[in-house]
């Protein structure tokens, strides 16, 4: 197939898992337990369709423009599309379509669940890399921001602002980032240089998550 990059491209996205469904002979890609793309194989294990989701209107447009884009094989034919793996659909467009499929499935989850799937908090921290995670702290997403280092009984100020005040999934995409609240919620164990590096890392994490659709 011409899209040899596809497997690595999809597995690089946050929260993506892959399995093989032997009855259907499909390689499936999931996010949060929901499939967003599949490679349908023939008896010789050669790909004959790539299934993905598109906005129905967009699907119609691509089906009329490319004869290699067809209504979803063995799927809901309004939302799902099948792409011939050796057809004329350009690689860049194929990447855009896979991105859209991932985004559409992610959008089906609540914002809190999206952050859990992506393994990121609204301030860009990856709790699973923290030594407190699972011992003295259950994690920001799981505790809705009411972590031990937040004011007693309340969500931390960043969570309160991003989720409750601005109704955002996270600080990603906020025009004030990194704002005064970020500056005043400094981990006391970090010196100034470490804190600046931490802010840069969290912003980078959020940027990547934002590009992945949160």
| Residue ranges binding ligand SF4 (CB under 6 A) | 125, 127, 130, 132-133, 137, 139-140, 147, 158, 161-162, 166, 168, 171, 174, 176-177, 179, 181-182
**Could you tell me the smallest distance in angstroms from the CB atom of residue 119 to ligand SF4?**
11
Closer of 63 and 160 to ligand SF4 (Cβ): 160
Tell how far CA 157 is from the center of its chain. Answer: 24
Q: What CA–CA distance (Å, rounded) separates 93 from 106? A: 20
Closer of 46 and 149 to ligand SF4 (Cβ): 149
180 — phi, psi (to 5°)? Answer: -60, -35
Q: What CA–CA distance (Å, rounded) separates 54 from 96? A: 10
**Could you tell me the smallest distance in angstroms from the CB atom of residue 175 to ligand SF4?**
8
126 — phi, psi (to 5°)? Answer: -100, 95
**Could you tell me the smallest distance in angstroms from the CB atom of residue 201 to ligand SF4?**
12
Q: What CA–CA distance (Å, rounded) separates 159 from 140? A: 9
**Could you tell me the smallest distance in angstroms from the CB atom of residue 116 to ligand SF4?**
12
Closer of 43 and 184 to ligand SF4 (Cβ): 184
34-41 and 47-53 beta bridge pairing: antiparallel
Residue 29 pairs in a beta bridge with: 18, 37
Closer of 54 and 171 to ligand SF4 (Cβ): 171
**Could you tell me the smallest distance in angstroms from the CB atom of residue 208 to ligand SF4?**
16
Closer of 51 and 125 to ligand SF4 (Cβ): 125
CB atoms within 10 A of CB 102: 23
Lookup: tokens for 12: 């690089």
């Amino acid at each position: 197939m011409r899209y040899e990059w596809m497997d690595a491209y999809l597995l690089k996205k946050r929260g993506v898992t892959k399995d093989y469904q032997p009855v259907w002979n499909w390689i499936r890609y999931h996010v949060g337990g929901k499939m967003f793309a599949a490679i349908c194989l023939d008896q010789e294990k050669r790909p004959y369709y790539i299934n993905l989701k598109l906005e129905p209107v967009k699907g119609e447009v691509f089906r009329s423009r490319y004869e290699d884009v067809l209504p979803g094989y063995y799927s809901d034919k309004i939302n799902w599309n099948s792409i011939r793996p050796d057809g004329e659909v350009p690689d860049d467009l194929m990447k855009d379509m896979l991105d859209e499929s991932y985004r559409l499935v992610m959008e089906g989850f609540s914002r809190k669940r999206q952050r859990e799937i992506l393994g990121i908090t609204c301030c860009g921290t990856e709790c699973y890399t923290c030594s407190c995670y699972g011992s003295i702290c259950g994690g920001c997403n799981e505790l809705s921001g009411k972590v031990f280092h937040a004011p007693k009984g309340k969500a931390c100020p960043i969570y309160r602002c991003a989720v409750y005040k601005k109704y955002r999934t996270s600080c990603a995409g906020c025009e004030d980032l990194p704002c005064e609240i970020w500056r005043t919620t400094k981990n006391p164990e970090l010196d100034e240089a470490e804190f600046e590096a931490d802010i840069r890392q969290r912003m980078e994490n959020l940027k990547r998550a934002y590009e992945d659709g949160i």
